Chain A
Amino acid sequence: MAIRGVNINIQGLGYRYSSRGKPTFSNLMLESKRGEALAIIGRSGCGKSTLLHIIAGLNRPTEGTMHFDDKKIEGPSSRWVMMFQAPHLFPWMKVSQNVGVGLGFAGWPEKEKRERVDEALRLVELQDYAETNVQDLSGGQQQRVALARSLVMEPELLLLDEPFSALDAFTRASLQRDVRSIAKRLGFNLIIVTHDIDEAVLMADRALIMAGAPGKIVHEFEVPLDDPRQRQDPAVQAMRARLLDAFHSAAQVAGAPKEKLDEADTESNSVSQHA
């Protein structure tokens, strides 16, 4: 697979659900260089998922512009693919059909499509399940099929909307490691929206903390850690502590109640203990 990333340039982006309503976020600036893995962390309601949907072209911004490599973005495309919290596979299709569905939409000939699908299934190590009905797979395997379905399109950018939050801690850890490793190997950009601090530290080159209403980016951290990243590594733990402090202070500025502040910490701890 020959995938290359993309330079992302977002200027003055804003969104409101209704013309009279309060903006979800406004005047948001964001840049990301080719092949970078970016994590956006924030508590529920700060607009991070909405931002991701807009970048994917599934929602239209009410203000601002987005450019990928100087090309203005105004709608969805198979070059920037989104993975959702649930796999949302098509249950009437087998694994291989689910993976190849996007290529089918693009009118790929059957033989080439088959080859690309096989390659994507090998990448996510599900080559033995090509003819299996997706309903017979575990939750983690289904999410891997969703990953293969995205990768087969050879996207320049993969957008992940809390894609592993519904999985158990072990499966989540395994997929976090694999998605980063595949992204780095193939060279595409990642944008991960999460409220799991560990996920951001393990997967991202750079982490942005979003808070407030309307939401804005309040902190930015480079995550200069070597691969493969291990949770128990002191450098990973130190990075996690820095992000957590910044997350707490951002949430306090935004006026979040105490129990909300503890959510991210609790979740990170539970993963650390399991994996």
Chain B
Amino acid sequence: MSDDAAPGGAAAAAGLTGTRTSRAAEAAGRGVMNFSLGLLILAAFWWLGGYLIAMNPKTQSFAGFGLVQTLQSFPELWNLGKLQKAIAASGYRLGGGMSIAIAIGVPLGIIMGRSKRFRDLSNSAFQFLRMISPLSWMPIAVFVFKAWDDSIIFLIAVASGWPVMFSTAAGLAKVDPAWFKVARNLGAKPIQMLTQIILPAISFDIFTGIRLALGVAWVVLVPAELLGVTSGLGYAIKDARETLSYDHLTAMVLTIGIIGYTLDTVCALLIKRFSWHRGDA
């Protein structure tokens, strides 16, 4: 009965997995090396720029922007509790805005992907709203919401909802319609169709959308925090500028970069974890 077996059968499949693992380890090693080298080059330029600023009497007062001074300011910021407070405040706003974006974007994306009527009706309105800069909603948000925090969460949700929604819809449009037919044939109820067929089938696209949205949200968060609020990484930058603490300012900028990069890496790992496409793993 096994006339149609793949050459070598299960052993071949195991061998294939082994080859894939060694290739993945090789690629990971190369990735770590490139990552470290890239950061080293960036640090070298930064150090050189800081050194030139410090050496020039005309720019000496801006020496705090240098690499060494910035790194030295981290323990101070940590001991004062400024760093933790700023990260916690920004994290709360980012988490709130992203949660709303995902909670609204994924279901709307699924409806867009499944219903041509809804897609046709909503496309022009959504494309129009998407093109409005999120920060231009700020005055309206301040009128509508009592707390500044809520206004910023709203801005982040507005900015990050679109990538989640459009990516989800695009993912569903690519799904093989025969999967729905097979699932229906095997007795899938609507909720099972959603949780066991639709969501796993488009998980790659949802996480890709979340990754894009996170990038947009992170970019919107800092300028939004420059207005009105008295906490968060954006506010900390403004505060450092006003007190001429340039080392603190660059430390906060560096923190924004590190957190943004970490969040993006986590998203990339989640995409890899949930992707079933061959070649993504």
Binds B, one of A33-41, A77-85, A184-192, A254-262: A77-85
Q: Which residue of B lies closest to A171 (CB)?
A: B4
The interface size bin for chain A is: 35 or more
Given contacts A93-B200, A101-B183, 15 further A-B contacts (CB under 8 A): A56-B185, A76-B187, A81-B185, A84-B178, A88-B176, A105-B187, A105-B189, A105-B196, A129-B10, A129-B13, A135-B278, A138-B4, A144-B4, A153-B186, A178-B1
Contact present for A128 and B9 (CB under 8 Å): yes
* Chain B residues with CB under 8 A of A78: 185-187
- CB contacts under 8 Å to B, within A124-158, are 124-125, 128-129, 132, 135-141, 143-144, 149, 153
* Chain B residues with CB under 8 A of A149: 186
Contact present for B178 and A88 (CB under 8 Å): yes
Contact present for B186 and A101 (CB under 8 Å): yes
B201 close to chain A: CB less than 8 A:
yes
Looking at chain B's contact residues, the main secondary structure is helix
Bound-state CA distance A140–B6 (Å) is: 8
* Chain A residues with CB under 8 A of B189: 105
Contact of A174 with B4 at beta-carbon distance under 8 Å, contacts A86-B178, A88-B176, A88-B182 already known: yes
Write the residues of chain A forming the contact surface with B, with a CB cutoff of 8 angstroms.
56, 58, 76-78, 81-82, 84, 86, 88, 90-93, 101-102, 104-106, 124-125, 128-129, 132, 135-141, 143-144, 149, 153, 167, 170-171, 173-175, 178
Find B5's partner among A101, A136, A141 (CB 8 Å cutoff).
Answer: A141
Contact present for A141 and B187 (CB under 8 Å): no
Contact present for A170 and B3 (CB under 8 Å): yes
- CB contacts under 8 Å to A, within B148-202, are 176, 178-179, 181-189, 192, 196-197, 200-201
Q: Which residue of B lies closest to A79 (CB)?
A: B187
B2 close to chain A: CB less than 8 A:
yes
Bound-state CA distance A78–B188 (Å) is: 9
Contact of A90 with B184 at beta-carbon distance under 8 Å, contacts A132-B13, A175-B4 already known: no
B92 close to chain A: CB less than 8 A:
no
Would you mind naming 21 contact pairs between A and B with Cβ atoms under 8 Å apart? A76-B184, A84-B182, A88-B179, A91-B276, A92-B200, A92-B201, A101-B186, A102-B187, A105-B186, A105-B192, A124-B1, A128-B9, A135-B276, A137-B6, A137-B13, A138-B5, A140-B5, A143-B4, A144-B4, A167-B4, A170-B3
